[in-house]
Structure 1
């Protein structure tokens, strides 16, 4: 292969993480996959901790949203959260990667956080409230991006249908006297729902409370 780049290492690490989980990503495994010695990787990442930071930065790299004073802060904050969810969902391992790192070590994530803080301050929240708001919405976006695989199936229709059927049977087999509502809701609970609705509802759930609080500041 040609010259080994930092980007090539990170992209292969994300491919392994997506397919097998973050625990499968090791320097030795990457070296084997890329056809180099482990020492060649140490030029880019001295250990797995630094590698995971690089993976986290790559996940959010290229995500740009400009703070535009001519647009409503509500619109921009919703756009930021929605786009962040879509960017992170491209990699199933994204949630685990971001849980492993100190966000202070991830420049791309810091840029998103900085924009979100600016929007919260523009909504006239105080410094403490703005910090809390941005922590909640960014962690919420990460969780939504890692949503149930039932919502975002990557398996053949037949396999998905069987998984849904088995899940529905498990719900229906619960004691109805102890869990009457779960049993009655077995079908919608097992199907998971439409991915677009899942995202829109999740973003609305995250931000409607913030917008309501901001409206009270103007009373």
Structure 2
């Protein structure tokens, strides 16, 4: 039998979640699948929360984030469809992502890559901010809002943004500008009503273009 490792534990957990869903994923059942006692798992994952973060990163980390040449639109579309294909291969993954209070490192890296495609494609930071709200969780291949709009301490938010600058530069740039840019068309921060109308207008404009093409 192969030696137990964190990678092996997470691979087995992904396989078990694929088979039984998140409700069927438990440390005891996972240990049985691996042929070990439950306590052996805790050498590699501290608890169920760490296990969930690990399997999310295992799945999202398989999405190709390599450089893309050409126009931003087909590049972003292809990346999102790749993410969707991954979510469809692992139907439990979207629920797991939604259940986490904070995005995992692989999710942050993925979001950073998409924001980078938009920025290098000519989008302003303000427009990227609204585009991300419009896409919502579709950016990761499923439908739900990505951001937790619960008010948080501005100082803590700014400190967190500065802390991620080296690792996730595009994401940090947007977070810092959104927090302070009073020139934004909605002012600093997020406005739920504006984001809803922004998305609605975009969808309606798209429908009108389709209608006119008939």
- What range describes the TM-score normalised by the shorter chain of this pair? 0.5 to 0.7
User: Structure 1 CA distance, aligned partners of 2:128 and 2:81?
Assistant: 19
Change (3 A) 1:96 1:112: same
Q: Deviations over 1:97-145 (max 9, x none)?
A: 21122453x222222111111122234433243134235436114326x
**Is 2:75 the counterpart of 1:76?**
yes
TM-score, normalised relative to structure 2: 0.60
The equivalent residue for 1:109 is: 107
Greater relative CO (CA pairs within 8 A, separation 6+)? 1
TM-score, normalised relative to structure 1: 0.59
- Written as runs of structure 1 = structure 2, the 5 A alignment for 1:107-186 is 107-137=105-135, 139-140=137-138, 141-143=140-142
Uncovered stretches (5+) of structure 2, i.e. residues with no partner: 144-198, 207-214
The equivalent residue for 2:153 is: none
Alpha carbons 1:10, 1:54 under 8 Å: kept = yes
RMSD, matched Cα: 2.8
Structure number with greater Rg is 1
Alpha carbons 2:80, 2:141 under 8 Å: kept = no
User: Structure 2 CA distance, aligned partners of 1:7 and 1:131?
Assistant: 35
- Written as runs of structure 1 = structure 2, the 5 A alignment for 1:1-219 is 1-68=1-68, 70-104=69-103, 106-137=104-135, 139-140=137-138, 141-143=140-142, 209=202
The alignment covers a number of residue pairs equal to 149
